[in-house]
Structure 1
Amino acid sequence: MSVKRYVFAAFAVMASLLLMLAAGCGGNESVEGGQQEPKLSGILNLSGSTTVLPIAQEAAEMFMDENPGVTVNVQGGGSSVGISNVAEGVVDIGDSSRELKDEEKGLGLVDNKIALDVIVVIAHKDVPVDNLTAAQVKDIFTGKITNWKEVGGPDQPIKVVIRDEASGTREMFDEKALKKEKPVAGAIECNSNGIVRQTVSSTPFSIGYISLGYLDNSVKALKYDGVAANKENAVNNTYPLSRYLHMFTKGEATGLAKAFIDFVLSDRFQNEVVAREYIPMTQI
């Protein structure tokens, strides 16, 4: 073999090896950018609404499964707690089941709506009342109506169960159903939807309200002005006791917070998880 042919052959072999190495190195790169896809890592903290809590917890578990380097801590405490925590930098995301109050609008918080929720007026299963007018609901929860016989039920005193003052569910109910009047003195206060449901289910002749996501057959759902509390009636605006669920961030979401919120708003999570109990944003 001539020297020229030997050199050319050696060069060809080396070039082939370099191409193979380059191809091998490119196996971990994204096709679009030619750069290795960065892996998420770090700690993300959320707190706030007990209504949002089940969604946030399920999203956290799924998100951590997909991103082993990430830890997501989720706590409740109520909407007001979540909003104040994220405003003060205690958490990365503040969960809320209410809009911002006027005094909270200047805190630099950015709203990320994640679902539409429906509040259901519930009663003990043995109460033989299926429907209440808006006026009757208001009068019961403000103490003007105190006996079930006044609304077509038995001659029994009404036991009123409400949420605590930090609750976004109560904020919304007091505004839309009670027209900002104060609830009746002596009402039983509970700090979560689950406890309201448990209290009403175990307390004869009681009445309360919970998020649609917590409704089960342990209590009776009452119609409101003749309209059933369900997803269809909330979307078509015939049922008035509905509200958005939110994840607030301090400024526009970035890093892990953005990745997590994007995951919550993804078609997969909205249609497979959120749609089980709420109205997903993909349907609005």
Structure 2
Amino acid sequence: MAAVSVFFLTSAARAAGTIDYSGSISIGIGILQAGASHAFEKKTGIKFTSIDTAGSGKGIKALLQGKASLAGLTRPIAPAEKARNLVAITIGYDTLGIFVHQNNPVKNLSTAQLKGIFTGRITNWREVGGENAPIAATIEDPNGGRAAVEMLRKIVMGGAPYAKGLKQIESPLDQLKHTARTENGICVVNLGIFPSLDPAFGKRLKVVMMNDYAPTPDNIASGRYPITIPLQLVRESPPRNEERQFISFMLSKEGQAIVNKHFVPLQKGH
């Protein structure tokens, strides 16, 4: 009962005219910090007092605990979350990009090959057309609630467990930096955060095709590139006015133009 009381006190104490965000790094960095929070504040006077990119799972927990008023989610909302009076609104689409070092000759991986790498069945690049070198794959904590590892496991790996011993790096930006330093490295992270990476690292990376398709907006929208990820804003029901206004802003022409900087907006094939 005490925990419930804390929740209501925290919610009631939140200042009018403010929003506290927690959740997906793609939405936090690639949308909010890429212009949406500033444009929305300029338009309405409503200010984002915090943008916490702790990941989708932790964002939902923060919302339920009253520590955030808006969460970012890059996986389908779970039935148990809907049952807690949470509502998810899709504002665009992202995908998972397969990143390797620029010197890696591999240009394309099939779903089966990618599954083999992350389940541990494939351990050398020569097994997928590359050099004779051990594959150095990195992932985020498989149990940390990050949407990328959950979606990779569901869509590519068919629910199979990750191989034991894979190097775990919590931040997807740090995964990209590690892969840029590691000629036999590979990581699979949200493509939309790549523009936020320091160009000194970005120029040492390349994106690999999957099943002969590159993750272009047209291939993502059509489903030819198989890993499509919804970008969702999650709020409580009924919503506060501040969150309702921000979601309406993100669905507007101005908001969708911001989504279009790094992601696929709703009007492109969805």
TM-score range, shorter chain: 0.7 to 0.9
SS at match of 2:267: helix
Runs of 4+ in structure 1 displaced over 4 angstroms?
none
Contact 1:121 1:222 in 2 (8 A): yes
CA distance in 2, matches of 1:132, 1:225: 6
- 8 Å CA contact retained: 1:162, 1:208: yes
Q: Name 1:268's counterpart in structure 2.
A: 254
Deviation at 1:90, TM superposition (A): 1.9
The offset of 1:254, in angstroms, is 3.2
Aligned counterpart in structure 1 of residue 177 of structure 2, from 177, 198, 207 = 198
Aligned residue in 2 for 1:240: 226
Matches within 5 A, 1:54-133: 54=29, 55-57=31-33, 58-68=35-45, 70-133=47-110
Are residues 1:44 and 2:29 paired?
Answer: no
**Equivalents in 1 of 2:135, 2:189: separation in Å?**
17
Which residue type is aligned with residue 175 of structure 1? K
Whole-Å separation in 2 of the counterparts to 1:245 and 1:252:
21
Q: Take 1:43 and 1:223, find their aligned partners in 2: how far apart are those partners?
A: 41
Instruction: Judge conservation of contact 2:86–2:237 (CA < 8 Å) in 1.
Output: yes
Secondary structure, counterpart of 1:135 in structure 2? helix
* Preserved CA contact (<8 Å) 1:147 1:155: yes
Distance 1:70 1:138, change over 3 A: closer
Counterpart contact for 1:64–1:72, Cα < 8 Å = no
SS at match of 2:113: helix
Corresponding residue for residue 172 of structure 1: 151
Q: Letter of the 1:274 partner, please give it.
A: V
CA distance in 1, matches of 2:151, 2:101: 22
DSSP-derived class of the 2:83 partner: coil
Higher relative contact order, structure no. (Cα contacts within 8 Å, ≥ 6 residues apart): 2
The corresponding residue for 2:198 is none
Deviations 1:148-202 (A, max 9, x none): 1111111100001112232111111111011111111121222222112111111
Task: Count residues in correspondence.
Answer: 244
Deviations 1:46-89, CA, capped at 9 Å, x for gaps: 10111111212332122222334644421110100111111222
Identify the range of structure 1 (141-150 vs 65-74) with the bigger mean alpha-carbon deviation: 65-74
Q: 8 Å contact 1:120–1:211 — kept in the other structure?
A: yes
Q: Which amino acid is 2:32 matched to? A: A
Tell me the distance in 2 between the aligned counterparts of 1:74 and 1:133.
Answer: 36
Aligned to 1:154: 131
Q: Does 1:253 align with 2:239?
A: yes
Q: Residues 76 and 248 (structure 1 numbering): CA distance in 2 closer, same or farther, change over 3 Å? A: same
Which consecutive unaligned segments of at least 5 residues does structure 2 have?
1-14, 195-201
Where structure 1 has 5 or more consecutive residues not aligned to the other structure, the ranges are 1-39
In the TM superposition, what is the alpha-carbon distance from 1:110 to its structure 2 partner? 0.5
Q: How large is the RMSD of aligned CA atoms in angstroms?
A: 1.7
Which residue of the partner structure matches residue 16 of structure 1? none
Q: Which amino acid aligns with 2:105?
A: P
Per the TM alignment, residue 41 of structure 1 is displaced from its structure 2 partner at its CA by 5.3
Indicate conservation of the 8 Å contact 2:100/2:206, yes or no. Answer: yes
Please show how residues 13-24 of structure 1 align to structure 2 within 5 Å: none
Alpha-carbon shift at residue 103 of structure 1 (Å)? 3.4
What does residue 279 of structure 1 align with?
Answer: 264
Percent identity, aligned pairs only, is: 27
Specify the alignment match of 2:6 in structure 1. Answer: none
Counterparts of 1:150 and 1:53, CA distance in 2: 37
- Give CA-to-partner distance per residue, 1:112-171, whole Å, 9 cap, x none: 111111111111111111011110100011100000111111110000111223211111
Mapped to 2, the partners of 1:239 and 1:217 lie a distance apart of: 23
Matches of 2:65 and 2:122 in 1, distance apart? Answer: 42
Give the number of the structure whose alpha-carbon radius of gyration is greater: 1
Structure 2 distance, partners of 1:71, 1:83, is 17
- Quote the offset at 1:102 in angstroms: 4.1
Deviation at 1:261, TM superposition (A): 1.2
Distance in 2 (CA, whole Å) between partners of 1:261 and 1:114 is 8
